Amino acid sequence: MQRVRFAQAAPLVIVAAGFVFSVAVNWPGHLSYDSLIQVAEGRSRAYSFWHPAVMSWMLGIFDGVLPGTGLFVVFDAALVYGALVLALSLPKQVSWTGVGFATLCVLTPQFLLYPGIVWKDVLFSGASALGFLLIALAAERWSNLKLRITVIAVALLSLSLGALTRQNGTVVLPLAAFAIGWIAWKREERAPALNGILYGAGSLSALLLICGSAWLALETRHVGQSGPAGQFRLLQTYDIAGALHANPKLELDPLDDDEPLLAGLMRETAARLYTPERNDTLASSRALQDALLNAGGGEIAAQWTAIVVAHPLLYLKVRWDAFRWVLLTPDLLACRPVFAGVANAEPMLRDLGMTARFDGRDRALTSYAFAYAGTPVLSHATFLLLSIICLFVLLRRRSPVDIAMACLILSALAFTLSFFVISIACDYRYLYFLDVAALAAVTYLSTDAEALVLRLLRR
């Protein structure tokens, strides 16, 4: 009996130790240039449109309690490790496989280093993963009405936070509502179909209401031009350059008619500078950037639309090349898999009262993370494969908890696929959610691995 209890407690102890260690070695956080911008926005309470405002707002709240980003790092780590704790706690039986897998998880860069990096990708991934794991907890404790409603409410808040943190994070919301509706249909004894519809529709309405209200509240503090419009224009420019790179003889009728200077620069300069790795190379030409700045947004949009309509296969090829880089990261170093320290960004650092940092601890963390380069641990392809395998097992079993975990995987896959349309850089952090979702699902399944194998063999 004592051995069984120890086996059940050991994974949770390991994860708790991993949480404490991660916070300790990363404190008070790692800040890239984008992170510093959001800290500055949080302090000024004036949010640009380029980054989702909710993260800047949260950084400002935590900074008001304790100056810096330390509390935010604790919050991020609590989300990521909280999802892992729930994945370990949900199964009724825990095997030593679960103990071993929990140990492996906390040793990966995804759990040891990433929660300490002040990136919206980490906040989105942690909040979204925890939201689905809370739905799984509600499915497990469905008979307790008060606990069920409370847990679902917290799950909806967590999922809303995730959706507000990334522009394409809203893809998780319909799947979360679907999971709640499906679980209600499975768990309710009276009028299961009706209850499933009510729970699903009610959850989706609540998610949209929370997100919409928060967006409108933060909108009052926005300054500058529309970020989504600028980002979409950047995406369109990148796609046009990619199309010209693939087909130098491509006609540019809308640009030739209205912006002949820009059309010439797109053919001569943008096509040459284009790479599916990232869009930053286009910024190296001052003449091209000036022409883009002076051009009307309508002409660029018209040219992009003309290419999509007249040359759909070419458009798909360009999009696949960019998507392949973000998913498969052919050159991991170029895709910036890790970050440690504080970026050297003067005068912003001086205004924030911070200093650039890359000390011995940061070097050690970077070296540790890069030790996994070239292994399955730092490969989205690995986690894509694990996700598909987990999804097959979960949908085959289809218990109420399995449904929540399956929808977590489906949301990660939908989020990943959204980059087929929007990807303009291959940074590893963009698909961090895929890694976290896969690790959470495998952890959940690993806790009763022996029983799972026996059940599958019997079938």
CB-neighbour burial class of residue 286 (10 A; exposed 0-12, middle 13-18, buried 19+): exposed
Phi, psi at 225, each rounded to 5°: -80, 170
Specify the pLDDT at position 249.
92
User: Which two tokens mark 230?
Assistant: 């600028």
Q: For the chain, which residues make up each domain, given as ranges?
A: 2-221+350-458, 227-327
Specify the pLDDT at position 457.
52
Answer yes or no: are the C-beta atoms of 418 and 386 closer than 8 Å: no
Specify the pLDDT at position 447.
74
Cβ count near 420 (within 10 Å): 15
Q: What share of the chain is helix, strand, coil (3-state, %, to 5)?
A: 75, 0, 20
In angstroms, rounded to a whole number, what is the distance separating the alpha carbons of residues 408 and 398?
13
Mean pLDDT, the chain cut into blocks of 10 residues (459 residues total): 56 89 96 93 84 91 95 97 91 69 91 97 97 96 94 97 93 97 92 92 96 89 68 92 95 90 93 94 92 84 94 97 96 94 92 94 96 95 97 94 97 97 95 97 80 55
* Residue whose C-alpha is closest to residue 129's, from 115, 112, 147, 144: 115
In angstroms, rounded to a whole number, what is the distance separating the alpha carbons of residues 138 and 200?
14
Answer yes or no: are the C-beta atoms of 378 and 109 closer than 8 Å: yes
CB-neighbour burial class of residue 4 (10 A; exposed 0-12, middle 13-18, buried 19+): exposed
Specify the pLDDT at position 150.
96
Collapsed DSSP state (helix, strand, coil) of residue 425: strand
Specify the pLDDT at position 232.
86
Cβ count near 142 (within 10 Å): 19
Specify the pLDDT at position 89.
84
Specify the pLDDT at position 96.
67
Specify the pLDDT at position 451.
57
DSSP 35-88: HHHHHHHHHHT-B-SSS-HHHHHHHHHHHHHSSSSHHHHHHHHHHHHHHHHHHH
Answer yes or no: are the C-beta atoms of 9 and 96 closer than 8 Å: no
The single residue listed with the structure tokens 């699903």 is 200
Cα 457 off chain centre by: 35
In angstroms, rounded to a whole number, what is the distance separating the alpha carbons of residues 205 and 207?
5
Specify the pLDDT at position 3.
47
Specify the pLDDT at position 450.
55
Q: What is the CA angle 73-76-81, rounded to 5?
A: 120
Collapsed DSSP state (helix, strand, coil) of residue 222: strand
